[in-house]
Amino acid sequence: MNATRLLAVAVVVASIAPAFAASPEPPAGASSCSGCHAANAAANTPVPRLAGRNAAEIVTQMQAFRSGAQPSTVMDRIAKGYSDAEIAAIATWYAQQK
């Protein structure tokens, strides 16, 4: 990923973070992630936990899945259903969870 694209991702995430900072409710689409991504840090699963991860990392991974740059079993199909704004909102919300 080039520096310009990474900067753009960071700007989008930073610009929407305040909107979700006080919201305990997940944004639309985020609840579907919990079907595979465990909320409990003690859960032993090969699927990585999303809560507390860096939002820009989540955005980068989702974009890679969506474009096909990151091979996957199902995430490529799931990621295609989200816009950049939805991905950024979900990533920001998960980054704020502990």
pLDDT band at 7; cut points 50, 70, 90: very low
What is the distance between the alpha carbons of residues 45 and 24, in angstroms, rounded to a whole number? Answer: 25
pLDDT for residue 91 is more than 60:
yes
* pLDDT(63) > 50: yes
**Cα–Cα distance for residue pair 23/78, rounded to 1 Å:** 24
The CATH H-level superfamily of 3-96 is: Cytochrome c-like domain (1.10.760.10)
Average pLDDT, the chain: 83
Q: What is the pTM of this model?
A: 0.73
Locate tokens 């979700």: which residue?
20
Q: Is residue 83 very low, low, confident or very high in pLDDT (cuts 50, 70, 90)? A: very high
